[in-house]
Structure 1
């Protein structure tokens, strides 16, 4: 029986729990003192706010945005790739996939900054931009998986027997594609976390003084040697979530030895 690594579970559970529950534990009114003091559990940040409360409140904008963007990228990218792979006319495949090559040719951070500048600030905008950047890779992986599955004798036999489109293209192909898509999901979610954190670090999509883990790393780095927890704790949480997710996906997809 495949065992899940407790360390990986802990690395994922703590940031997710803080992102989901943390904002509810933050008081509505927070007193401000001098910057980078050792007061409280984790001291104060660059504007004198309690760092612990900022950690509790700062995960939602990073974690939930990354999760939403990844889910949106798969919701659009998988049908897009499967449609391109199963189209009987080659022109359909070309029309669907060639524009994605143009998106992939642009560096993701550059595309993020340009799109965010044009679209303006906002959480929904950031979700859409990160999903758009992740979408071409998801579509290409879905297309490659669908092409491999589409040539299997079992699928050809199902079509010759008159099985419905739902049974062949959705049920059988979807079940066969689950493993390669799941293998990609961990990497894709980590990439989304990186993009969201980079956007926050650059001040794209969130205010410069927002309660956000990536913003905390950027804004508090000037006081790193005075009050390091304001930088170390949010940075460790982001890294732990990224590494833990990949460990969990790797463990879940690893085949059992015979």
Structure 2
């Protein structure tokens, strides 16, 4: 995310696929400095992937919660069956079909990737919320006249946070690879854009001449996906270890000692 601030101004272009000459990682297919392109190319990938993941959950959360809490079968069918139809279409195929009709930019690509992830995310939300919705506490809240918002979000929604957090790490990985694949195929980005996936695509012809232009952005995409999953797993394990989520005695004891929670 901070790469563009460190990239500096572009220098004079050198010959294509050359190493050395003041360029740490050599030059790319049009003579641009690979190191500078690497610094510039991560922001677009991260922003589009994060935006698409957030938009998918923004729609999937209310759909899943309403479906899990409603007692009207027709409403549940109305909400979930269209999502099952979308789920049957491969994500990449849908992206390519839409891209064949119009050319999406970065915003359009984020919306498109979010759309293809909504069905699966909604099913995960519904599955996690259904178990919490069947607890006696939900019936007690209804008998007390609590609002739907307090029941759905305040209790059921909070009960599903651990499931959603685990799913978010895996979903971000899938979204990131879908965004990178779309960019690799030229969807949502310019052919010569400073983007890690575009760098892999455009420089692969010189892989055996100047491999850094392909290897470095490819490794960074892999590192980003693995790092995201490890970060989520670590956070979940930390919450489980100290009982922070459920307010257990272990968690209270840990906090009372002044340790970071």
TM-score (norm 2): 0.87
Q: CA deviation at 1:148?
A: 1.1
Answer whether contact 1:116 1:125 (CA < 8 A) is retained.
no
CA deviation after TM superposition for structure 1 residue 155, in Å: 1.4
Of the three residues 16, 23, 42, the one matched with 1:35 is: 16
**Distance across 2 between alignment mates of 1:84 and 1:155:** 15
Unmatched 5+ stretches in structure 1? 1-19
**Separation in 2, partners of 1:191, 1:131:** 11
Partner of 2:150: 167
Q: 1:77: how far off?
A: 0.8
Q: Distance in 1 between matches of 2:189 and 2:85?
A: 28
- Match among 29, 45, 56 for residue 62 of structure 1: 45
Contact 1:44-1:51 at 8 Å conserved across structures: yes
Which of 194, 210, 232 matches 1:211?
194
Distance 2:155 2:202 in 1: 50
Contact 2:26–2:210 (CA under 8 A) maintained in structure 1 = yes
Greater RCO structure (CA 8 Å; 6+ sep): 1
CA separation of 1:169 and 1:206: change in aligned 2, threshold 3 A? same
| Distance across 1 between alignment mates of 2:102 and 2:198 | 20
**Is residue 119–residue 125 contact of structure 1 (8 Å, CA) maintained in 2?**
no
Q: 2:160 is paired with a residue of what secondary structure?
A: helix
Q: Is the 8 A contact 1:42 1:229 kept in 2?
A: yes
Distance 2:159 2:126 in 1: 13
Count of matched residue pairs = 239
The residue that corresponds to 1:7 in the other structure is: none
Instruction: Confirm or deny: 8 A CA contact 2:132 2:159 kept in the other structure.
Output: yes
Note the aligned Cα RMSD (angstroms): 1.5
Tell me the residue number matched to 2:241. Answer: 256
Partner of residue 177, structure 2 = 194
CA separation of 1:118/1:30 partners in 2, compared to 1, >3 Å: closer, same or farther? farther
Aligned counterparts of 2:104 and 2:15: Cα–Cα separation in 1: 29
Structure 2, unmatched stretches of 5+, are 243-249, 251-261
1:68-120 CA distance string (max 9 Å, x none): 00000011111111112222211111111111111111111111111122232
Question: Which of 223, 228, 237 does residue 206 from structure 2 map onto?
Answer: 223
Other-structure match for 2:99: 116
**Structure 1 SS opposite 2:2:** helix
TM-score norm. by structure 1 comes to: 0.88
Q: Deviations over 1:42-63 (max 9, x none)?
A: 1000111000110011111211
The structural deviation recorded for 1:234 is: 0.5
Matches within 5 A, 1:12-91: 20-39=1-20, 40-91=23-74
CA displacement at 1:180 relative to structure 2: 0.6
Q: In 1, Cα distance between the equivalents of 2:150 and 2:37?
A: 50
Is the radius of gyration larger for structure 1 or structure 2?
A: 2
